[in-house]
C-alpha cells in the first residue's frame, strides 16, 4: 500500500528520543510484545494504553507512517512503547535471543507474485528470526484479509519451530483494531492464526 509523504516526518523522527533509527538492543523490565509492520500504530498504541504490564515495540520501516505512530505516542504518553524505524530484516540487531514474549503480524504486505514470496513476513527466513528472539512457548499471531497469504503461511509453519494452536477464517475483533482492519472488515473475511514456539 502506497503511503502519503509527510513533509516533517524525517526531521521529527530524527529529533525525537522516542524513536530508534539505528540498531541497539531493546531493554525492558516488562515482557516484550512486538508488532512487525505497525502501520499508523492504532493497534499497538491501543494495546500499550490498556496493558501497562507489557512493553510494546512498534517495528515499522516506512518513515511516513512511523511518524503517525510517533504522533499517537506523543499524545498518549505511553512509557511502555518503543518505536523502531527500520526494516524487518534488521530484527536480530534490536532483540537479543529469547527476549520477546509475543509477535504480531497484522495485515502484512501479501507479496502475491511468486517471485516475491521470500519478502513475506511469514516466509521461512523471517520465521527463523522469530524463533531466535521469542522465548520458549512464545506466540506468533497473524491476521490478513488475503486468503492465499494465510494458506501459504500455514504451510510455511509446517517446517518451522512453531505449532499452530488456533486458526480461523472468520476472525472476530480483538481488544485493539488497526485502521486497516477497520476498513477491510467491512469488505472481506479476516483470516488469522496463532502459533506457539515449541
Q: Closest by alpha carbon to 30, among 57, 54, 58, 46? A: 54
The residue from 87, 109, 145, 152 that is catalytic is 109
Per the DSSP assignment, residues forming a β-bridge with 83 are 19, 58
Active site residue 109: yes
Q: Using DSSP, state whether 175 is helix, strand or coil.
A: coil
How do beta strands 100-106 and 191-197 pair? unpaired
Cell numbers that stand for 81 in this block? 512503547
Cell numbers that stand for 86 in this block? 527500520
Q: Going by C-beta distance under 8 Å and a sequence separation of 6 or more, which residues neighbour residue 22?
A: none
* Residues carrying an active site annotation: 109
Amino acid at each position: 500500500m502506497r503511503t502519503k509523504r509527510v513533509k516533517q516526518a524525517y526531521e521529527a523522527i530524527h529529533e525525537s528520543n522516542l524513536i530508534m533509527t539505528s540498531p541497539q538492543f531493546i531493554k525492558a523490565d516488562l515482557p516484550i510484545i512486538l508488532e512487525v509492520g505497525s502501520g499508523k500504530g492504532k493497534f499497538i498504541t491501543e494495546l500499550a494504553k490498556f496493558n501497562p504490564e507489557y512493553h510494546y515495540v512498534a517495528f515499522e520501516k516506512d518513515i511516513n507512517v512511523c511518524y503517525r505512530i510517533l504522533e499517537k505516542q506523543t499524545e498518549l504518553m505511553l512509557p511502555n512503547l518503543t518505536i523502531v524505524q527500520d526494516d524487518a530484516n534488521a530484527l536480530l540487531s534490536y532483540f537479543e535471543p529469547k527476549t520477546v514474549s509475543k509477535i504480531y503480524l497484522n495485515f502484512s504486505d501479501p507479496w502475491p507474485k511468486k517471485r516475491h514470496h521470500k519478502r513475506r513476513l511469514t516466509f521461512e527466513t523471517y520465521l527463523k528470526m522469530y524463533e531466535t528472539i521469542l522465548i520458549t512457548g512464545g506466540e506468533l499471531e497473524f491476521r490478513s484479509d488475503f486468503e492465499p497469504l494465510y494458506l501459504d503461511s500455514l504451510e510455511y509453519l509446517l517446517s518451522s519451530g512453531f505449532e499452530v494452536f488456533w486458526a480461523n477464517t472468520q476472525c472476530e475483533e480483538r481488544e485493539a483494531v488497526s485502521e486497516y482492519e477497520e476498513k477491510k472488515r467491512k469488505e472481506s473475511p479476516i483470516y488469522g492464526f496463532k502459533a506457539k514456539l515449541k
